Amino acid sequence: MPKSDIERDFPSLIGAAYDLSDEDFNYNCLAYALGDQKNWWEPPKGSGQYWPPGFSDDVSVKTVESIIRAHGFTVEVTDKKANPETDAIAIYAEGNDWTHFAKFSSGLWSSKLGEGHDVEGVALENLEGPIYGTITKILRRPKRRRVS
Amino acid sequence: MANPNTNTCGKRFFRWGPRSDRRERAKDWGSSDSGRLICQEWSDEVKAVYDAERRVREIFDAPTKTQGSGIFLRSQADRLRPEFSVLADQWRNNTRHLSLVSKKITDPSYLRIIGMGKPALPLLLEVLRDKPSHWFAALRAVANFDPVNPEANPSEARKAWLDWGKSEGYID
């Protein structure tokens, strides 16, 4: 898919410097944010979808936040404009339901767009709009304690 | 004297004869030329009646036997192909960036494809083969069947559907 198709859905990416991976329908943005590039994370489990055991079969922000926290992203970031101090995951939502995720790693925000490309080097607000709604929460990993 | 157990006519009679008491008579019939002739005529008559009825039954059963078959569905699918292609492209363009399959499948184009029913099955399998995407809900809906292992990821689910489609004759 050319960049122009992506920018049709996300006009604020026009003129931005970002990189694209190949398209892959095996995983979605939640899987990507959690480091899994083999599964499509969405409830309910089955028919090609994965959902971790022990969590409610719903797409609420509350449920997905508990999944993200279980993966070690336990500190809520209050300043959404500044880059987090450690690896982080941003949750996009409409109302109480999540719509999308982006991850912060190695100093860059990146994201998986639906069944399509990973985009790297985007700003979080580039992806806000009618498709993904707005950023509702950012969770980061705690800082490692220095060993003296 | 001919052994009735090795006599062709006797065997045929045992095969076609509906009543056990006639077995005794068959032994007698098979032991003489006239008996064998009578037996042969009777056997041929029974077989002719049975075959005629079987042919009639096959003619009337044919539509129900072929309705679900690959050849029948593929011929129906060809008529839907132009509309299907337009709807599939629309669905891809409208939903390609959505993160949730549950949202993607509520697009009107996807629902219209499901509304095409079972004749859309070969077309869904073709598009899944040629442009992998989340067609699984539509396939489940029109096939009323799911060959996918609950642990499968999308690539494995795709393979399960294509293998099933080939085994049923819906795609090459």
Residue-range definition of the domain harbouring residue A126: 3-140
- Chain A partners of B150 at a C-beta cutoff of 8 Å? 45-47
Predicted model pTM = 0.77
Half-sphere exposure (Cβ direction) of B80: Cα atoms closer than 13 Å: 21
Q: How many domains, in total, are found in chain A? A: 1
The answer, yes or no, to whether residue B148 has pLDDT greater than 80, is: yes
In this prediction, residue B152 has a pLDDT band, given cuts at 50, 70 and 90, of very high
pLDDT digits (tens, 9 = 90+) for B10-43: 554 444 444 545 555 555 555 667 777 777 787 8
Distance, CA of B156 to CA of B143 (rounded, Å): 18
Residue A38 has pLDDT above 70, yes or no: yes
Q: Is B132 on the interface with A (CB under 8 A)?
A: yes
Domain membership flag for residue A98: yes
> pLDDT tens, A15-31?
888 888 888 999 999 99
Q: Are B31 and B3 in contact (CB under 8 A)?
A: no
**B94 vs A: CB within 8 A:** no
Split at pLDDT 50, 70, 90, the class of B1 is very low
Q: What is the pLDDT of residues A72-109, one digit of tens each?
A: 999 999 888 888 999 999 999 999 999 999 999 999 99
A26, A30, A116 member nearest B96 (Cβ): A116
Domain assignment present for A146: no
Chain A residues with CB under 8 Å of B155 CB are: 26
Judge: A28–B99 Cβ closer than 8 Å, yes or no.
yes
Q: Does A43 reside within a domain?
A: yes
Q: Closest Cα to residue A99, out of B94, B97, B106?
A: B97
Find the chain A residues whose C-beta atoms sit closer than 8 A to any C-beta of B: 1, 5-6, 9-10, 25-26, 28-30, 38-40, 42, 45-50, 59, 98-101, 112-116, 131-132
ipTM, 2 dp: 0.93
* Alpha-carbon distances, residue B121 vs A47, A56, B125, B129 (angstroms): 17, 32, 6, 12
Name the percent of chain B lying above pLDDT 90.
55
